[in-house]
Structure 1
Amino acid sequence: MLQRIQTVYLIISALVMGALYYWFPTVSDEAGNAIISRDEPLVLGLIGISVLLTVISIFNFKRRKGQFVLNRLTIISNFVLLGVFVYRSLTLSGETLVSEKGIGVLFPIISIVFLVLANKAIKRDEDLVKSVDRLR
């Protein structure tokens, strides 16, 4: 259902995580060895899991509690991805003149913000349905 605001938030979150794969640079050291690569199985898997869970959550609009749980799982996978990015970027040496770590590290944070907004909207819908059922 596209008329619900949480669906818009979830679509934005999925687009941000999909864009992360295309815009995230391969960070390499002075010797040319890749330190963080978007084709690395761990990074690629976490991005894929995040996008897949978000898309499943979009089509799971009739079950709000299930949608809420899927969003929480997506938030956890984004935090793990963010942890991988931070760990790998902290192991880089040098960085005195120019930082080449990229803005792609911020994309999981943007996705987490939109997922939290979607969860708030889902909670609001759930509370509204409960209040209407109480009046009957």
Structure 2
Amino acid sequence: MIQRIQTVYLVISILLMGALFMWFPVILGTDGSVIIERSEPWVFGLIFVSILLGIISILSFKKRQTQFVLNRLNIISNFVLLGVFVYRSLTLSGETLVSEKGIGVLIPIISIVFLVLANKAIKRDEDLVKSVDRLR
């Protein structure tokens, strides 16, 4: 069913990744240098893949196992994106005492949390359906 709690979690994850794409098009370093910009298509490709997997997962609400697998793939793509962000921020030169990398680096972590919550809700629904089928 599309009105389940996992849909809410997936919508929040999609909105977070959309915010990362729209509101954080350029991630700046502390000295004002550009760390990641829109001209790096593989970074924004990963963001687009994450958004697309979330939308497909919402639309496949009748197939819970497919939804579960798509969410796991989405988690992996978010981990790869997080790794790229961390690698790019750690290879910067001229770091100051106070890091000001921005919230854009934390958005994949928050998205991963909501994807894990969605997977738990999907698992709970699957277990409920299996228990009802046993009673028939």
TM-score with structure 1 setting the length = 0.91
Percent sequence identity over aligned pairs: 77
Give distance in 2, aligned partners of 1:20 and 1:44. Answer: 9
AA in 2 matched with 1:26: I
Give distance in 1, aligned partners of 2:32 and 2:119. Answer: 44
CA contact (8 A) 1:6 1:119 kept: yes
Change (3 A) 1:87 1:124: same
Give distance in 2, aligned partners of 1:39 and 1:122. Answer: 37
CA deviations over 1:49-101 (Å, ceiling 9, x no partner)? 00000000000000000000000000000000000000000011112155341
AA in 2 matched with 1:37: E
Q: Return the offset for 1:9.
A: 0.4
Corresponding residue of 2:113: 113
Structure 1 residues 11-90: aligned runs within 5 Å:
11-24=11-24, 25-27=26-28, 32=33, 34-90=34-90
CA contact (8 A) 1:47 1:81 kept: yes
Give distance in 1, aligned partners of 2:50 and 2:60. Answer: 15
Q: Return the offset for 1:37.
A: 1.5
AA in 1 matched with 2:119: N
Give distance in 2, aligned partners of 1:134 and 1:53. Answer: 32
CA contact (8 A) 2:54 2:74 kept: yes
The runs of 5 or more residues in structure 1 that have no matched partner are none
The runs of 5 or more residues in structure 2 that have no matched partner are none
SS at match of 2:106: helix
SS at match of 1:35: strand
AA in 2 matched with 1:61: F
Corresponding residue of 1:124: 124
Q: Return the offset for 1:28.
A: 5.3
